[in-house]
Amino acid sequence: MRVTCALLFLLANTLSARSIRVEYIEESKQKFPPDPTQAAMNFMRFTKAVLIATSEQSWYETVRDSNIEEQMDIRSLNPELLKQLPLGSDIPQEVVAKRKWSKVALADYKSLTSNLCASYTKMYGEKVTEQSLQRYDWTIADETALIAGMRCKKAIASDHASNCTIEAWFTDEIPISNGPGAFHGLPGLILKVETPQMIFLAQKIVFIDRVDINRPADSELIPQEKLMEKLMQATEQDRKKQVSKPGN
């Protein structure tokens, strides 16, 4: 009995002193444009992400290509969508075009000691927003589940800003009060979050030596409402580059 207690004490101290690396899959629940291929659907719906966290701070970053390009037969498009294209009444037997699907990669830095959350666009290396950590009034339920090999408990919170309910599953076997994206504040690591828009699900957990998590050098602060405008400008510049390439 003494040996068992000693081992448990050693394990607890080891977990509390170490950092973790968690691989997540983000699943989007949003509606997509008409007639996407299966490859495009998977690209838009599922995103890999990695969380590096200590008991004091964390860095959460999506891991993905910024875009994919595919060929399509215009005649296979939804008739209503086809009417919107500048085509004549006679469509040739074989009409092949290119369609590009793009996503914006984001990264989130959180400091639990400074009560700070900062988001960055990985694509441009710019800071998007910086604000105090959002507070969640979690209610822990009796339900349990096994996620990524860890025993988890269920918790519920109301997001008053978006008027929705957030469901989270956390493990107190890893005493790091953090999680994917902006989520935190439970007595253990959050391994699953579900909102009306997204699902974040842990796939793999690795304990690593303690790491120093450094924020990128701050650059221009981009208000959230200006972000889409900046992204549209960058997309248009990329399109012009593609058109100007030899052979296009």
pLDDT at residue 82 is higher than 70: no
Mean pLDDT over each residue of the chain, to the nearest integer = 77
Q: Specify the range with the lowest mean pLDDT, choosing from 18-22, 74-78, 160-164.
A: 74-78
pLDDT at 10: 36
pLDDT at 233: 72
pLDDT at 11: 45
Q: What pLDDT, in 10s, does the model give residues 175-211?
A: 999 999 989 999 999 999 999 999 999 999 999 987 8
pLDDT at 113: 92
pLDDT at 190: 98
Which of 57-61, 237-241, 242-246 is predicted most confidently?
Answer: 57-61
Q: Specify the range with the lowest mean pLDDT, choosing from 17-21, 131-135, 179-183.
A: 17-21
Q: Specify the range with the lowest mean pLDDT, choosing from 15-29, 133-147, 160-174, 176-190.
A: 15-29
Q: What pLDDT, in 10s, does the model give residues 137-147?
A: 999 999 999 99
pLDDT at 67: 66
Considering only residues 148 and 74, tell me which one the structure prediction assigns the higher pLDDT: 148
Rounded CA-CA distance 145/150 in Å is 8
Structural domains in the chain plus CATH codes: 17-72+95-228 (2.50.20.10)
Q: Which residues contact 200 (CB under 8 A, 6 or more apart)?
A: 24, 25, 26, 49, 179, 180, 181, 183, 192, 193, 194
Q: Which of 43, 39, 37 is nearest to 64 (CA)?
A: 43
CB 190 within 8 A of CB 170: yes
**Residue 128 CA to its chain's centroid (Å):** 15
- State the pLDDT confidence band at 39, using cuts at 50, 70 and 90: confident
- Rg, the chain, Cα only: 22
- State the pLDDT confidence band at 13, using cuts at 50, 70 and 90: very low
Three-class secondary structure of residue 192 per DSSP: strand
Average pLDDT over residues 225-233: 69
pLDDT at residue 16 is higher than 50: no
> Using DSSP, how many helices (H) and how many strands (E) does the chain show?
4, 13
Average pLDDT over residues 30-44: 72
238-to-51, 143, 149 alpha-carbon distances in Å: 30, 49, 43
Q: Specify the range with the lowest mean pLDDT, choosing from 68-72, 78-82, 117-121.
A: 78-82
pLDDT at residue 223 is higher than 90: no
